Amino acid sequence: MRLTLHVWRQKNHDAQGRFVTYSMADASPAMSFLELLDVLNEQLTERGEEPIAFEHDCREGICGSCGVMINGRAHGPEKGTATCQLHMRKFKDGEVIRVEPWRSKAFPVIKDLVVDRAPFDKIVQAGGFISVNAGGAPEANLIPIPKPTAEKAMDAAECIGCGACVAQCPNGAAQLFTAAKVSHLALLPQGQPERTRRVQKMVDEMESYFGSCTNFQECEAVCPKGISIEFIARMNRDYLRGSI
Amino acid sequence: MSGLSNFYRSAVGKKALMAVSGIVLFGFVLVHMLGNLKLYQGPEKLNAYAEWLREVGSPVLPHSGLLWIARFVLLAAVGIHILAATQLTLRNWQARPQKYKQREVLEATYASRTMRWGGVIIGLYVIYHLAHLTWGRPWVHSDFIPGDVYHNVVSGFQIWWVSGIYIVAQVALGFHLYHGLWSMFQSLGWWNSSNPQDWRRRFAQVFAWIITLGNLSFPLAVLTGLVK
Ligand code: HEM
Ligand code: FES
């Protein structure tokens, strides 16, 4: 495949960034998007240029490290797929592809396509846990949980914290991420004692960094795990219940 | 009190207040449209209805008492709604200082993307509408007769561009209601599924259509000569 890539290059946080155009003559449809960047980086290194910085780890769609805007979509054109699991067969020969980092005031660019997603950790630190001394692993069937509830909690727990929801949201809101992290605990018996305090702390922390939700539903459309905005409604309800 | 001010400080709390004030305004526009249907029953019925609005509640309340209570509640709802909308919008505009060179719109509906400017259009229209048919200012209505609602509506709408303003505003209100009514469930935490055909979307569609079609029918009926 022949491809033209416009890639955002930025030396560091303070530097002025710009798009640089690269042509690739030898891309294979079997490559993942990150492998395409790997090959491009090889060529850049051979030419003595600085390779493009991008984040990745598992390359299996489970760690949440990867993620860039590809032609105006977080994680690119394939629904329910993280950038590392997107393959070049989804693109046409000769296609022009624009690659941009997540853009949010809360996610400053560190270098090229790498952004600092620390505010997500801050939100989890504010309450995304259960305060008990865990000890050894308890017997799994000690607390019976109905199957549909367990499934729902797992749907929320699927969130890998990649930041695509913030990236796509016209308001730069982190509601889907926070709602997922709130809900997977709020649905389970272990999460009940701190349920109200948790949602208030996490929402307050979220709002100190991000914009807020106006129900555009763009987040749901790009979430690689297909997390539903139903969880945002759940979070709102818990927050309101705790405030009134 | 500190609980309440904390609640208002949060965006989630502001959205809940927007939803509650939105419900009040929705109830108003629905009843207002249904009341205006009396236009089709002729001058006596419509004018009697307008007079009834002033008398209802008496003798317990003074003349126009209930009307003033309703006006006060509506004014408060409009105030809260616009204040919260403005504050949230300004905050959201700051959340992405560096814009994307390219960003596709995936699921966001036209209605959802026009809430802010649509709201501004509706707000300006409401002021115009009050000056036109409630206060009857000569610079917006040259032939206003206090108390003769039927005459004021018909002679007003016979001017094509006056009807035009009403038509544009009702379409804007229809879009605003569609996204607003759906959003309200989300903001207040009522869900059953995010399936686009779920009852929340249906509810929003049905009521946005009812109100918009009802309101559009009035200027159209006058322009076509059905009502004169
Ligand atoms: C007859 C007048 C109006 C009615 C019936 C109405 C109704 C509603 C409703 C029910 C909502 C949903 C609240 C929620 O987010 O949960 C809403 C949202 C909203 N309204 Fe209004 N509204 C009216 C006038 C206005 C005006 C005058 C403005 C602004 C100047 C405005 C701006 C907004 C904005 C920005 C939203 C939030 C939209 C979003 O979250 O996407 N509205 N409205
Ligand atoms: S690299 Fe782990 S999810 Fe993509």
Same domain, A72 and A135: no
pLDDT at B1: 41
Looking up tokens 């018909």 gives B154
Q: Of residues B51 and A137, which shows the higher confidence score? A: B51
Identify which of A61, A103, A137, A102 has the alpha carbon closest to the alpha carbon of residue B98. Answer: A103
Which of A71, A94, A111 is the endpoint of a domain?
A: A111
Q: Which of A165, A212, A234 is the best mutation test for B, with the most CBs of B within 10 A?
A: A212
- Going by pLDDT thresholds of 50, 70 and 90, the confidence category of residue B61 is confident
Same domain, A71 and A123: no
In angstroms, rounded to a whole number, what is the distance separating the alpha carbons of residues B59 and B69?
15
Query: What is the tens place of the pLDDT at every residue in A37-77?
Result: 999 999 999 999 999 999 999 999 999 999 999 999 999 99
Which of A61, A85, A111 is the endpoint of a domain?
A: A111
CB contact under 8 A, A98 and B190: no
Q: Count of CB atoms within 10 A of residue A220's CB?
A: 20
Same domain, A54 and A29: yes
CB contact under 8 A, A243 and B7: yes
Which of A61, A90, A111 is the endpoint of a domain?
A: A111
DSSP letter (8 states) at residue A50: P
Looking at the DSSP assignment, which residues form a beta bridge with residue A115? Answer: A109
In angstroms, rounded to a whole number, what is the distance separating the alpha carbons of residues A211 and A177?
13
Same domain, A79 and A106: yes
Identify which of B44, B39, B50 has the alpha carbon closest to the alpha carbon of residue B221. Answer: B39
Contacts of A168 in chain B (CB under 8 A): 103, 106
**Residue A5: C-alpha distances to residues A2, A95, A99, A185 (Å):** 10, 9, 7, 42
In angstroms, rounded to a whole number, what is the distance separating the alpha carbons of residues B130 and A221?
42
Ligand 2: which of A35, A59, A78 to mutate, judged by most atoms within 8 Å of the beta carbon?
A59
Contact (CB, 8 A) for B130 and B71: no
Any residues with CB less than 8 A from the CB of A101 and at least 6 apart, and which? A8, A10, A68, A69, A107, A109, A112, A113, A114, A115
In angstroms, rounded to a whole number, what is the distance separating the alpha carbons of residues B132 and B126?
10
Q: Kindly report the protein residue whose alpha carbon is nearest to atom 3 of ligand 2.
A: A61
For residue A130, the enclosing domain spans 117-243
Query: What is the tens place of the pLDDT at every residue in B111-136?
Result: 999 999 999 999 999 999 999 999 99
**Per-residue pLDDT at B194 exceeds 60:** no
Structure tokens at B178: 């569609």
CA B177, B179, B185, B189 dihedral sign is negative
Same domain, A144 and A87: no
- Going by pLDDT thresholds of 50, 70 and 90, the confidence category of residue B64 is confident
Q: Which alpha helices (DSSP H) does A55-163 contain, by range?
A: 118-125, 147-157
In angstroms, rounded to a whole number, what is the distance separating the alpha carbons of residues B45 and B51?
10
Same domain, A75 and A144: no
In angstroms, rounded to a whole number, what is the distance separating the alpha carbons of residues B97 and A238?
31
Query: What is the tens place of the pLDDT at every residue in A2-39?
Result: 999 999 999 999 999 999 999 999 899 999 999 999 99
Same domain, A121 and A228: yes
**Per-residue pLDDT at B139 exceeds 60:** yes
Amino acid at A220: E
Q: Is A75 in the pocket of ligand 2 (CB under 6 A)?
A: no
Phi first, then psi: give them for residue B170, nearest 5 degrees: -70, -35
Q: What is the mean pLDDT of residues B137-158?
A: 92
Same domain, A49 and A159: no
Q: Judge whether B187 is closer than 8 Å to chain A, CB to CB.
A: yes
CATH code, domain with A200: 1.10.1060.10
Same domain, A79 and A104: yes
Q: What is the mean pLDDT of residues B159-186?
A: 96
In angstroms, rounded to a whole number, what is the distance separating the alpha carbons of residues A244 and A221?
32
Number of separate domains in chain A: 2
Same domain, A91 and A11: yes
Q: Hey, what CATH topology would domain B3-96+108-223 get?
A: 3 helical TM bundles of succinate and fumarate reductases (1.20.1300)
